[in-house]
Structure 1
Amino acid sequence: MLRLIHTADWHLGQSFHGQERHAEHRAFLTWLLDTLVERDADALLVAGDIFDVVNPSLQAQALLYDFIVDAHRRLPRLDIVLIAGNHDSGNRIELPAPLMQRLRTHARGRVGWLDDGHLDAERLLVPLTDAAGETRAWCLALPFLRPAEVTGAIARPAHEADGGDAPPANDYISGINRVHRELIDAACTRRQPGQALVAMSHAHLHGAAVSEASERPIVIGGEESISAALFPDDLAYVALGHLHRAQQVGEARIRYSGSPLPLDFSELNYAHQVVEAVLDGERLAEIQAISVPRPVAMHRLGPAPLADVLAELEALEIDADRPRERWPWLELRVELEAPMPDLRARVDAALEGKPLRLLRLERRLPRVAAEDARERIDLESLGPRRLFERTWQGRWGEPPGEDVLADFDRLRQDVLDDEGEPA
């Protein structure tokens, strides 16, 4: 038996509407390590988007490396396999690889090609061992594939690059498919009887459910999705990353673990989890979702009129003894029928003394019927004040009041003064 824990999309260092989330990520990693120990896991698979940006902060990097050191101290036989996602820098993920390998951590950030034009599959095959040190499975660690890595002559065998039936050099999906096929073929050749194959990939599969707001498209145009048919029955388990909603794709053995924390208010009701997969010989014996506790609550109120939103806010039950870094995140969505310049002041007054962190105040505006014909506007002759009046009229269906125009004039004058321009 070999016990694996599959997770992905940590997004360490995420800026959440301008706020850092190090305390939440630290709490998750502490829970994850305790779970690995409790389950006596043999391997941890992290399927990409480890960091939120390609140049993560020192604090975000420290979270990862401290976790790896602590995991090796508490579970010296644990194998950890990391792959880069589309948010990560493949080079940065691989940079400390020689040091991490001493801690049984294998980082794969990019694919490589041999001189004959074939995939360097050997470096992407990571042995997974049991408590006795015996290789029980092979992890096909396939990082996110950028177009430059899988298209063009360098990513095609030499006999195809000279002509023949090769796909067009700019065919991104064909390149992705080919890399998966070559890696799977190499793994089938490498393994011994009784050893399982586990694929780990950071990709978007056809038919998988995408998050409403927080998942960055891998390729502009959304043409990056691939078919689950790429993963044959030879693979006991397929650990996927990129989509934040935990889900299986077609079969129980092919699944996204999802992100361990909500990365946007639209993900508030997702089942955030890690996945435990148990292998028996070459096959998947058991699979179980393990819910991740939420270290910081999130509240999304509305959309509703202001009075109703404030009533929802008043009804919230909040632990006032929590440290500030554990105060709940808050999003308010207010439906307005008319301009309300003091909306933020009213909300701030309602929040006075409450242990909540307001991240987003969304104004839902009434729809204004569009004009049948749009006149051509000369912005230079129109001027800033008149342009502001037209914009306000188009949004609210009525002209701005004198107090609003006075505020606009003061703000414009402040800008001109700061720029050193004459009024």
Structure 2
Amino acid sequence: MRLFHTSDWHLGQNLHGQERDFEHACFLDWLLGQLARRQPDVLLIAGDIFDTVNPPVKAQERLYDFIVSAHEQQPGLTIVMIAGNHDSGSRIELPAPLMRRLRTHALGRVLWLDDGQLDAERLLIPLPDASGEIAGWCLALPFLRPSEVTGAHLGDDYLRGIGQVHEWLIEAALKQRKPGQALIAVSHAHMAGGSVSEDSERSLIIGNAEALPASLFGADISYVALGHLHKPQRVNGEERIRYSGSPIPLSFSEIGYQHQILEIELDGAVLRSVEPRLIPRAVHLQRLGPAPLSEILGQLAELPDVDLLDDPQRQPWLEVRVRLDEPQPDLRQQIETALQGKAVRLVRIAAEYAGSQGADGDDSARLIELGQLSPQELFSRAWEQAYGNSVDEQTLADFALLLQDVQQEEEQP
């Protein structure tokens, strides 16, 4: 059996106010081509399909147009997609009855039976191979919010609740499968030891309190397709537990990533290979600085001029980081003037002031934009400013629960 592992599409994402629809369209066209060329039996989308719980209509059209095109091109393809922490679980599941006609399974939530047991059956998806025989089972684990895995039947320990859901689902899968069938887990979670991307990954709960141990996935699981972290990586060096990463750079901190999907080959329940398929970058991200303003202006002058034959949608996104000795009220005007006629699109100017030392020992103090801070960081800063001391862990935990309530209210379609 052959599978494609993808995640963190973030359809509808904006980069400092600039929409990325063209880049997502290029990725989806490329992915359709890879499906036609490699003919996998299964496509996995491991969460954060959309960038927000209320995605723009165009982003939703992109997803459903892709699913229809993939099915028309390859009627035997099975697609399994789960909700991530950026998604609304209920929105992801809303068209599920229609999508099943296209061999697409959309899982956004875990549900509980009247006796308090996990409804594991709906989370177990049969995976046919090219001959139509069931070659494996997918254990679909959407992002689990505290309200879904804590309460009377699970207690108040969030991590323990997640662990229990995994244990119950794996137990149900082991009972379901027949000899030679593979178990494939697809999950949206932060695994302990994973490398996080600066600026573009929203903390799931608080700090690293949500990091899950790889031991949740025992040797009975042939492959674990993870979503949430944008950098492609193995977990604890294990070949079978992987993040595929995001298909496009979602922030300037991801410029150096080799964005990819993963192609998985299984022989029965035995993992034979995991091969990356590198995704062409439709639009490059370019970062200048940090450097003094005079040097930045010189670098801007050396940028290539606009070629009228080039597609303006492919012009790089540009971030400029300037080191200043004192405020420059006309900073933006100077930079925009220097960029006139240049084949780049300015999306961000960040100022750093020399001569003062940050808490991390850096020789400059950065001006931090609100968009760079998580809700938890904003709350912590506001608390310290108001009360003069650091917020305690219990208060942070209470804030996290309130935040989850607000996010769930936003998710209602």
What's the TM-score, normalizing by structure 2? Answer: 0.84
CA distance, structure 1, for counterparts of residue 173 and residue 357 of structure 2: 60
Provide the aligned length of Structure 1 versus Structure 2. Answer: 356
What pairs with 1:318-337 in structure 2 (closer than 5 Å)? Answer: 320=307, 321-337=309-325
1:400 aligned residue: none
CA deviation string 1:376-423 (max 9, x = no partner)? xxxxxxxxxxxxxxxxxxxxxxxxxxxxxxxxxxxxxxxxxxxxxxxx
CA deviation string 1:105-130 (max 9, x = no partner)? 00000001112211111110111111
1:39 aligned residue: 38
Structure 1 residue 147 corresponds to structure 2 residue 146: yes
Structure 1 residue 99 corresponds to structure 2 residue 98: yes
CA distance, structure 2, for counterparts of residue 176 and residue 315 of structure 1: 53
1:76 aligned residue: 75
What pairs with 1:48-87 in structure 2 (closer than 5 Å)? Answer: 48-87=47-86
Equivalent residues of 2:288, 2:321 under 8 A apart: yes
Report % sequence identity: 59
CA distance, structure 2, for counterparts of residue 86 and residue 318 of structure 1: 41
2:247 aligned residue: 260
What pairs with 1:240-259 in structure 2 (closer than 5 Å)? Answer: 240-250=226-236, 251-259=238-246
- Give the alignment partner of residue 201 of structure 2, picking from 176, 196, 215: 215
1:349 aligned residue: 337
CA distance, structure 1, for counterparts of residue 132 and residue 303 of structure 2: 52
1:337 partner amino acid? D
Q: State the secondary structure of the residue aligned to 2:135.
A: strand
- Give the alignment partner of residue 258 of structure 2, picking from 271, 293, 301: 271
CA deviation string 1:255-307 (max 9, x = no partner)? 10000111000111112110010010111011101111111111001111122
Structure 1 residue 230 corresponds to structure 2 residue 229: no
Q: State the secondary structure of the residue aligned to 1:80.
A: strand
CA 1:335–1:235: 2 relative to 1, 3 Å: same
CA distance, structure 2, for counterparts of residue 369 and residue 116 of structure 1: 58
How far off is 1:43 after superposition?
Answer: 0.6
What pairs with 1:360-371 in structure 2 (closer than 5 Å)? Answer: 360-368=348-356
1:117 aligned residue: 116
CA 1:332–1:105: 2 relative to 1, 3 Å: same
CA deviation string 1:217-270 (max 9, x = no partner)? 000343111100000011110000000111000201001000011100011111
How far off is 1:318 after superposition?
Answer: 6.6
CA deviation string 1:48-77 (max 9, x = no partner)? 000000001100000000000000000100
Could you list the runs of 4 or more consecutive aligned residues of structure 1 that deviate by over 6 angstroms after TM superposition? none
1:134 aligned residue: 133
1:110 partner amino acid? R
2:239 partner amino acid? A
CA distance, structure 2, for counterparts of residue 171 and residue 305 of structure 1: 50
CA distance, structure 2, for counterparts of residue 312 and residue 194 of structure 1: 59
CA distance, structure 2, for counterparts of residue 368 and residue 302 of structure 1: 18
2:126 partner amino acid? P
Equivalent residues of 2:143, 2:187 under 8 A apart: yes
1:29 partner amino acid? L
2:5 aligned residue: 6
Structure 1 residue 206 corresponds to structure 2 residue 176: no
CA 1:62–1:239: 2 relative to 1, 3 Å: same
How far off is 1:313 after superposition?
Answer: 2.7
Structure 1 residue 358 corresponds to structure 2 residue 357: no
1:217 partner amino acid? S
1:17 aligned residue: 16
Q: State the secondary structure of the residue aligned to 1:365.
A: strand
CA distance, structure 2, for counterparts of residue 319 and residue 211 of structure 1: 32
How large is the Cα RMSD of the aligned pairs?
1.4
CA distance, structure 1, for counterparts of residue 128 and residue 331 of structure 2: 59
CA distance, structure 2, for counterparts of residue 222 and residue 204 of structure 1: 8
What's the TM-score, normalizing by structure 1? Answer: 0.82
CA deviation string 1:166-218 (max 9, x = no partner)? xxx22100000000010011111100111000000000000110111110000
How far off is 1:369 after superposition?
Answer: 7.7
What stretches of structure 1 of length at least 5 have no aligned partner?
157-168, 371-423
What stretches of structure 2 of length at least 5 have no aligned partner?
359-413
How far off is 1:319 after superposition?
Answer: 6.7
CA distance, structure 2, for counterparts of residue 100 and residue 182 of structure 1: 27
How far off is 1:37 after superposition?
Answer: 1.0
